[in-house]
Amino acid sequence: MSTARACRHCGQAIPADLQGDFCCRGCDGAYALVQDLGLETYYRRRSIDPAARPLRPEDEAQSVHDFSAHVATGENGEASLHLMVEGIHCAACIWLIEALLSKQPGVGWARVNMTTRRLVVRWDSSKIDASALLEPVLKVGYRLVPYDPAKLGRETERVEKELLRAMAVAGFAAGNVMLLSVSVWAGHFSYMGPHTRDLMHWISALIVMPAVLYCIRPFARSAFSALRARRSNMDVPITLGVTLATAMSLAETMRGGEWAYFDSAITLLFFLLIGRYLDSRARGRARSAAEHLLALDAVAVTVLEADGTQRLLPPTKVAAGATVLVAAGERIGVDGVVADGRSDVDTALISGESVPVPVAMGDKVFAGTINLSAPLRLTVAAVGERTLLAEIVRMMEVAEQGRAKYVALADRVARWYAPVVHVAALSTFLGWTLGVGAPWQQALLNAVAVLIITCPCALALAVPVVQVIASGRLLRQGILLKSATALERFAEVDTVVFDKTGTLTEGKPELIRDQSWTPEQLARAASLAAASRHPLARALVAAAPGTVPADGVSEEPGRGMVAGAVRLGSRAWISIAEDTGVEGPELWLDVPGQTPVRFAFADAPRPDAAKVVADLKRRGLKVELLSGDREATVRRIAGLVGIDTWHSGRTPADKVARLQALKAEGRRVLMVGDGLNDAPALAAAHVSASPSSAVDVSQTAADVVFQGHRLGPVAETLRVAMGSRQLVKQNFALALGYNVFTVPLAVAGFVTPLIAAIAMSTSSLVVIGNALRLSRGRTG
C-alpha cells in the first residue's frame, strides 16, 4: 500500500493529483493565517512556489465577476449577497473564507454553510463594494457563482459509490473465505493434512489480499491522516489490526504455518463499510431539504408588459414592480400585492392554515402558495432571495449548520480507547522481547493477538447494530428513521412540540353534524358545492354521498357559489351579522324566503391524539402546541387533546424563536410538524418528526417520517429510542468488559491470534445478540 501524504493543517489525506503540503486551498490559507504569515506572504508563496499551491489546473481559471446585480439591500441600508462557493473541501475552507470576509471593512456577517455550499455575507455598502469585498476569496482561488442547488452533492455521490463498491467486494470476499475457514476449523478437530490446510490458506490469501488492499482505503486514509496530525481515531486500530492480521496470515501461509486470520480481517472490514456508508447517506439530508425548498420556487412567471403582451420568465428574472398574471390552480412564483382580481389562495405551505384565504385588491400573496379559484393580477414586491420562501430556506440552513457539529458516541469513546490499544500491543512486544527474552517472532505474535483481541469490532458495532435493528422495528410499523443520530437524540427528549394542522389534526375540514340543518338542506347545499374546488365545498359534498350537481351554478371567487337566487358562501357575502361566539370555518346557505342555514366545519384531531398526549405527559415530558392558525381554532384543538400550553398565529420565524427559547432553558425539543412553515422549526429542533402526509420539504427536514392517520408512531419512536440508548450502553459495557477480561490473557501469551480472532468474533456476536432483543420488544 502506498503511503498517503497528510495535509499539514488538517491532517486529511492529500489527493494524489495535488502537489505541496496541503489538501486544499482552505488548509493552505488557514495555515498561513494561523501561523501569522499574513495574507500577502500567503499570496506571494503561492505565486512563486507552484509546489505550494494545492490547486488543480482548472481552478486557476477564475473569471472576474460583477456581483452588483446579485446584491440585495435591506431596509436599514445593509447589503447582502447569497452565492455558492465551488472548491470547498473541508472545515478549514469554511474557516478561511469566513476569516477573509470578516477582515473586510463594514462586514457584519459572513457565513458559509457546509451542506449547501451557500455563502451569505452582509455588509455596509457605503464602505466597500461587492467586487472589492469578494476579491480576497477569489484571489485565494475559490469560485463564486449565483446560488444553484443543482450543482451540490457531486462529491458526496462519488464517495458513496466508492463505499458501495468496497462493501460489495468485502461482502463477496468474506462470504467465500468464511466457507474455507469452516473447513480449516473443522480440520483442527479431525485430521486434515498440512498440504490440504495450506491449500485452503493460499486460496483464502488469493481472495482476501486484493480485497483488503481495495476495501481498507477509506480507513487507511483516515488513519494515516490522523497519525500525521499527531492524533488518533478509531480508524487507527482498525487499520493496524486488519493490516497486521492480514500480514501475519500471509506470513503463516508462506511458511506453512497452522493458523491464519484472513476471515477476521475481511469480515471486520465488511461490517465497518456498512456503517460508513449509512453514515454518509445520513449526512446528505440537510442539503436535500434546501434543494426541495428551492424547487417550490422553480416555476415560470407570466409577465404582463406595458403594451399588453405576455411572456414567460423565471421568477429570478422578474423585476420588482412588474405586473404578473397567475391563473387559477397555478403556483405563485413571486411575493406580491393583488392589483386586480379576487380569489382564494392555499397558504397551507406558508402559514399552516387548513382553509384557503380569500384575497382581493391590496392583499399580499407569497411565492410557493397556490391560487385556487380565479385569475389574479399581481404587482411584484420581491423575487428570488428576497421572498418569504427564500427566507425559510435561510432559516433552515442556519439550524442545520448547528446540527452538523454532533459527534457520535462511539467516536468519543475511541478518543481514549484507541491509544490504550496501541500502548497495550507495544508493551506486549517490548515486554516479551526485553523482559522475557523471547524471540521477536513470538513477541510479535503475542502483540498481534493483543491487537486482534482488542480490535474495536464490537465497539464499532455497538451503535450501528442497534440502529439497524431499531430502524427495522420502526419500519415494520411504518416509521422511517432518516438520520443516523436520530435515535440518540430522541432518547434525550424532554419536551415535545406539536404543529396543529395535519399533525395533531387530520389536516382536512369535516362537516360538523350539529343538527342546525336538515338532510334536505344539506343535499341542496352540496349540489351547489359540487361545482367548486374549495376545500369547504369538497367537505360538504363528501358529507352528502350521491349528490347531483345543480345546473347553472357559477362561482364568485372569494365569496361562494350561486345558482339563480340560491347562494352558498361566506357569512359576509350572505350578509349575516358577525357572532363573536361562533368559531371555526363555515358556509351559509341562503334560499329566498327561508332563514339562512349555517354549515360549520372543523379539522378533527387524529383518532389517538389525546391518548398520545396523555402518554407523553405520563412519561414526564412537557407538551406544547405551536400553530400558524387562528386563536379560536388552536384553543379548541388544544382542549380536545389535552395540551395546556399552546400558541396561535405563529410564523415560521416565531416557531424557530420559541424552540430557541426552550433550548436556552436547557430543553431537548422534539418538533412534530408537517407544513412548509414547520420546516425551519423541524431543522432547528433537537430532533424532529413528520407524518407521511407532510409536504416533501418537511419530510426531508425531519429525522423521522411516520405513516398512517395516527400519532402513535411518535410515542413508539420515543420508546424504541429509550430502549436503544439502554442497549447501546450495555453493548459498550460488554465490548469494554470483554477487553478487560481478555487483554491480560493475550498479554500473558495465553491467547494465540487464532483464539483472539475467535474471541473478537464472539464479542461481536454477543453485541449483536444483545441488540436483537430490541426487535422482540425486550430491552430490560
Residues that are catalytic: 499
Residue 79 host element (H or E): strand 78-86
Number of CB atoms found within 10 A of residue 595's CB: 8
Burial of 45 (0-12, 13-18, 19+ CB in 10 A): middle
Q: Are 207 and 191 in contact (CB under 8 A)?
A: no
Tell me if residue 24 falls in helix, strand or coil.
coil
Q: How far apart are CA 230 and CA 228, in angstroms?
A: 5
Instruction: Tell me how far CA of residue 23 lies from CA of 7, 14, 260, 484, in angstroms.
Output: 5, 4, 38, 28
Compute the half-sphere exposure of residue 404: CA atoms within 13 Å on the CB side of its CA.
19
| Contact residues for 248 (Cβ-Cβ < 8 A; gap 6+) | 261, 444, 445, 448, 753
What letter represents residue 568's amino acid? L
Question: Which candidate, 318, 338, 309, places its Cα nearest to that of 326?
Answer: 338
Residue with cell 410515542: 715
Q: Are 526 and 544 in contact (CB under 8 A)?
A: yes
Grid coordinates representing 357? 384565504
Cα 757 off chain centre by: 37
* Pairing mode, strands 364-365 and 370-371: unpaired
Q: Return the C-alpha cell found at 567.
A: 347562494
Distance, in Å, from the CA atom of 491 to the CA atom of 619, rounded to the nearest integer, reads 12
- How far is residue 142's CA from residue 86's CA, in Å, rounded to a whole number? 6
Give CA–CA dist 12/10, Å, rounded: 6
Cell of 648: 396561535
Location of C-alpha cell 455550499 = 117
Q: How far apart are CA 545 and CA 169, in angstroms?
A: 59
Counting Cβ atoms within 10 Å, is residue 569 exposed (0-12), middle (13-18) or buried (19+)? buried
Cell numbers describing residue 379: 404587482
Alpha carbon dihedral 606, 614, 690, 772, in 10-degree steps, equals: -120
Distance from C-alpha of 186 to C-alpha of 711, rounded to nearest angstrom? 53
Q: Which residue has the cell 350521491?
A: 546
Q: Which of 619, 612, 622 is nearest to 710 (CA)?
A: 612
- Cell 489546473: give the residue: 57
Q: How far apart are CA 703 and CA 288, in angstroms?
A: 12
Give the C-alpha separation, 131 to 83, whole Å: 13
Of 492, 489, 487, which Cα lies nearest the Cα of 464?
487
SS3 at position 407? coil
Pure H helices in 321-439: 348-351, 388-403, 409-430
Per-residue cell: 553 = 351554478
Read off the amino acid at residue 718: L
* Residue whose C-alpha is closest to residue 525's, from 558, 572, 575, 574: 574
Residue 3 burial by Cβ neighbours in a 10 Å radius (0-12, 13-18, 19+): exposed
Q: Which three cell numbers stand for residue 197?
A: 490446510
